[in-house]
């Protein structure tokens, strides 16, 4: 099932970002996916699937945005390495 969310965006924002609606939509999706991943609300696989990019690409972008991929415990290590 696909859901659509409508967001009001002043044209000044698009102009200041040198962006069009499609680019801004993709930026919002990426930033939202990273936020939800950082907050442990969605998995990296779910985020990558939503963005239609490889999981590794999403993880790289999430790390660049400050996401912590492992909390240095055995459960996290096993979970993440099982997905490779």
Contact between 44 and 55 under an 8 Å Cβ cutoff? The reply is yes
pLDDT, residue 47, reads 96
Task: Count the Cβ atoms, other than its own, within 10 Å of residue 76.
Answer: 13
pTM: 0.78
Q: What is the pLDDT of residues 4-58, one digit of tens each?
A: 989 898 999 999 999 999 999 999 999 999 999 999 999 999 999 999 999 999 9
Residues in the chain: 84
Residue 27, phi then psi, degrees to nearest 5: -65, -45
The residue behind tokens 């939503």 is 50
Where along the chain do its domains lie?
28-82
């Amino acid at each position: 099932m696909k859901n659509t969310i409508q967001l009001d965006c002043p044209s000044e924002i698009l102009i200041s970002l040198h962006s069009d609606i499609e680019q801004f939509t993709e930026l919002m999706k990426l930033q939202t996916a990273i936020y939800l991943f950082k907050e442990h609300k969605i998995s990296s696989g779910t985020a990558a699937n939503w963005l239609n990019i490889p999981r590794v690409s999403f993880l790289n972008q999430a790390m660049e945005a400050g996401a912590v991929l492992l909390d240095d415990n055995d459960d996290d290590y096993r979970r993440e390495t099982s997905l490779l």
